[in-house]
Amino acid sequence: MSDLSVSNSTAEIVAPSIGPQETKQKIYSIQHLRWFAATLVVMRHTLGHFPDEVISRNYLTRSGEFGVDIFFVISGFILWYISAQSRPRPFPFLLNRITRIYPPYWFFTLAMVATAIVLPKAFRFAYVKPLFVVKSLLLFPAWHPILHNINPVLPIGWTLQYEVFFYLLFAVLLLLPPSKRLLGNLAALIALVVLGRLIHFNSPPLHVYTDLPLLEFGAGMVIGALYEKRRLVSPLVGIAIAIVALIWMYPMTKFVDSVYRPLAWGPQAALLVYGILSAEYGTRVTWNLRLLELLGDASYSLYLCHLFALGALRMIWKPFPQFGTTACVLYVLTGILLATVMGLLSHIYLEKPMVKVMRRFVERFLKKKESTNVFPVGSRA
């Protein structure tokens, strides 16, 4: 998804200043795009509740999947930009990412396991064999025998399998000199994808770790490097690029299943992120919209919990089987609203406290580790 989170707050992501007299500018547009991407995914899964005779499966109903491609590009951008600003070390960087991604994911994965055991019919796709659950908790790619694809217990976690591998690869390549990191990351990602096209691995881990979506992380890093060097276009051109990307995305939806997905949607996702970043950077109008900022902060929780919200909606709506145009629109809007509210509550009362506790633990661990690595005065070592 969407590194599905920029940080704990937008205050941690700051654009480079243009001159010594200019104050630094927060990157609010990334927050807005995170919310937009998560909402697209929710819309897609809400539309998936309708039977084929009620709604046609065309490019419009499939377009919500585009949110995943936006998330992948944003992840590449954020990781590159953070590393360029703070020069992180590999191990602390990886621990920071793990504490951000895993705890909320574990909660909702175990919630799905518990629900599937207590209410077996609640999730028709739930598969909770112990070994499979362990692999899911680790985000280790495995074959899902019910969905017949590579998915964890919590199905939307498939994107996090790519995210975690990208974090690991990025952390290793932090050992390179800063001037070599972009080229090193791009070369590694391209080499892995080429290897995957040549060999066509049947092993789930090898298939994921050599799959084409990795290129979208690379595109995000390139955008991060361009942003860092202020190689952006004017706000009007940026907005035009973003609009063209969204329009171009729709006709390409028909090719998502017939060609490799990132080739159909990756360029549009990259252009959208680049265009919106350019629009915000060059404008004097503030993009600090508190509601959108909060929704962006909650996008990871929204992504993780929306299947539960939509499952509840399906049960509530069950006595009303007839779907006209008005009912379909109302159902989708209700699903998005219910999932958003649940995502906000999860972010405020679950995600933030969990991450806060985990980061305190990691900080103590790293301080203790550093103290044990410091040689005492007079040591001959």
237 against 251, higher pLDDT: 237
pLDDT confidence of residue 320: 61
Q: Is the dihedral of CA 328, 245, 82, 162 positive or negative?
A: positive
- What does the pLDDT look like over 188-203, one tens digit per residue? 999 999 999 999 899 9
Residue 260 confidence (pLDDT): 75
| Short-list 36, 24, 46, CA closest to 295 | 36
Residue 178 CA: distances (Å) to CA of 83, 185, 190, 335: 9, 11, 19, 45
| 381 has a pLDDT exceeding 70 | no
* pLDDT reading at 121 higher than 80: no
Mean pLDDT of 341-364: 92
What whole-number distance in Å separates Cα of residue 354 and Cα of residue 346? Answer: 11
Q: Is the pLDDT of residue 10 over 90?
A: no
**Contact predicate 270/279, CB 8 Å:** no
Segment 309-337 shows an average pLDDT of: 81
pLDDT of residue 360: 87
Between 116 and 370, residue with greater pLDDT: 116
Q: Which residues, including other chains, have CB under 8 Å from residue 292's CB and lie 6 or more apart?
A: 28, 31, 32, 35
CA distance 163 to 216: 11
Output the pLDDT for position 256.
Answer: 77
d(CA 349, CA 355): 11
Structure tokens at 71: 């998330």
pLDDT for residue 21:
33
Amino acid identity, residue 123? Answer: F
Tell me, letter by letter, the H, E, C secondary structure of the chain.
Answer: CCCCCCCCCHHHCECCCCCCCCCCCECHHHHHHHHHHHHHHHHHHHHCCCCCCCCCCCHHHHHHHHHHHHHHHHHHHHHHHHHHHHCCCHHHHHHHHHHHHHHHHHHHHHHHHHHHHHCCCCCCCCCCCHHHHHHHHHCCCCEECCCCEECCCCHHHHHHHHHHHHHHHHHHHCCCCHHHHHHHHHHHHHHHHHHHHHHCCCCHHHHHCCCCCHHHHHHHHHHHHHHHCCCCCCHHHHHHHHHHHHHHHHHHHHHCCCCCHHHHHHHHHHHHHHHHHHHHHHCCCCCCCHHHHHHHHCHHHHHHHHHHHHHHHHHHHCCCCCCCHHHHHHHHHHHHHHHHHHHHHHHHHHHHHHHHHHHHHHHHHHHHHHHHHCCCCCCCC
**Mean pLDDT in the chain?**
85
pLDDT of residue 322: 64
Decide: residue 8, CB within 10 A, 0-12 exposed, 13-18 middle, 19+ buried.
Answer: middle
When pLDDT is averaged across residues 61-73 and rounded to a whole number, the result is 90
Residue 260 Rama label (left phi>0; alpha psi -120 to 50; beta): beta
pLDDT of residue 321: 56
pLDDT of 348 strictly over 90:
yes
Write down the pLDDT at residue 315. Answer: 83
Closest CA to 339 of 315, 313, 370: 313
pLDDT digits (tens, 9 = 90+) for 163-179: 999 999 999 999 999 88
Q: What does the radius of gyration of the chain's CA atoms come to, in whole angstroms? A: 21
Distance, in Å, from the CA atom of 145 to the CA atom of 132, rounded to the nearest integer, reads 10
Phi, psi (rounded to 5 degrees) for 230? 60, 35
pLDDT value of residue 264:
87
pTM of the model: 0.88
Q: What digits encode the pLDDT tens for the residues 301-315?
A: 999 999 999 988 988
Which pLDDT does position 259 carry in this prediction?
59
The per-residue pLDDT for 373 is 59
Residue 240 has pLDDT above 90, yes or no: yes
Query: What's the pLDDT tens digit per position in 96-105?
Result: 899 999 999 9
pLDDT 10s digits, 289-301? 888 899 999 999 9
Closest CA to 150 of 198, 206, 111: 206
> Which residues, in sequence order, are CB contacts of 234 under 8 Å at separation 6+?
278, 282
Percent residues over pLDDT 90 in the chain? 57
Average pLDDT for residues 271-298, to the nearest whole number?
88
Q: Of 286 and 138, which is predicted with more confidence?
A: 138
Q: What is the pLDDT of residue 151?
A: 94
Q: Which of these ranges, 200-209, 280-289, 316-325, has the smallest mean pLDDT?
A: 316-325
**17-59 residue pLDDT tens:** 333 333 345 789 999 999 999 999 999 999 888 766 556 656 6
Report which of residues 359 and 192 the model is more confident about: 192
